[in-house]
Amino acid sequence: MRLSKRHWMISVVIPLGILAVLAWSTNLTGSAEKATTEHLSHGHMGESPWNQGREPADWWGFIEQTHGHVGPWNVLGWRIGKAALREFDTHWGRHELDIILYVPFKTPYSCLADGLTIGTGNSIGRLDIRLAEVMARDLTQVSVRRKDGKGPVLVFKPQHKYLEHIESPALAKLETLARECGDLKEQELFTIEKIADDH
């Protein structure tokens, strides 16, 4: 059976068009995957057009605005975040650190995450703050390392006695405990353990 010219064009041109679309989408997907991989591997760290955020002058007000209230758990996260920047000699919003918060997946423990975000300028959306679930409050800790792999891992462990102190505060005491957390000495709030990277 002979194909008409019209049928011949349909049978040849459409499959070729489909192949072209598939090749184009594969190339596009590959480019997106490559860009994403490069974005994550390099982290767009430091001073770059990607990092134009500015540290809030009023950290208390920013916690209140983003979290809904200020309590001891998010202030503790903020204090740990500030300590991490100091220990790694970096600055707010440079995204030079990988931070993993190990915490029970329920409030008030998870409130630490918002404090870490506001304290460092890192973010969950950029994957430089990640959450990992633990089964008990006393396993709560924050592990931090540089994205470039240089230097140790630092583990910030909240003091058990302090966690007991802020475990289930009455609503009326939240602000008092939050302000207390902002004023206490670091060693009363958490310890810092340095783990050498053997790789």
Name the residue among 58, 54, 101 with its Cα closest to residue 81. 101
In the prediction, which pLDDT does 29 show?
40
Q: CA 141: distance to chain centroid?
A: 14
Least confident of 27-41, 55-69, 78-92, 168-182: 27-41
| Cis omega (within 30 of 0) for bond into 15 | no
SS3 161: helix
Per-position DSSP letters for 57-90, written without gaps between them: S-HHHHHHHHHSS--HHHHHHHHHHHHHHHHTT-
> Can you give the CATH number for the domain in which 180 is found?
3.30.1330.130
Residue 26 is assigned to a structural domain of this protein: no
Please indicate, yes or no, whether the overall pTM of this predicted structure exceeds 0.85.
no
In the prediction, which pLDDT does 41 show?
41
Residue 158 is assigned to a structural domain of this protein: yes
Q: How many domains does the chain have?
A: 1
Three-state SS sequence of 17-61: HHHHHHHHHHHHHHHHHHHHHHHHHHCCCCCCCCCCCCCCCCHHH
Determine the residue type at 56.
P
Q: Is 48 a residue whose pLDDT tops 80? A: no
Burial of 20 (0-12, 13-18, 19+ CB in 10 A): exposed
pLDDT in tens, 110-121: 999 999 999 999
Mean pLDDT of the chain: 80
In the prediction, which pLDDT does 25 show?
40
In the prediction, which pLDDT does 99 show?
97
Q: Is 6 a residue whose pLDDT tops 60? A: no
Residue 50 is assigned to a structural domain of this protein: no
Residue 176 is assigned to a structural domain of this protein: yes
Question: 65 pLDDT band (50/70/90 cuts)?
Answer: confident
Residue 142 is assigned to a structural domain of this protein: yes
Residue 20 is assigned to a structural domain of this protein: no
SS3 15: helix
Residue 154 is assigned to a structural domain of this protein: yes
Residue 135 is assigned to a structural domain of this protein: yes
| 131 dihedral zone (left: phi>0; alpha: psi -120 to 50; beta) | beta
Range of the domain at 154: 59-195
d(CA 119, CA 93): 9
d(CA 175, CA 61): 12
Mean pLDDT of 51-68: 77
Q: Is 53 a residue whose pLDDT tops 90? A: no
Q: Is 159 a residue whose pLDDT tops 80? A: yes
In the prediction, which pLDDT does 50 show?
58
In the prediction, which pLDDT does 139 show?
96
pLDDT in tens, 77-94: 999 999 999 999 999 989
57 versus 32: the higher-pLDDT residue is: 57
In the prediction, which pLDDT does 5 show?
55
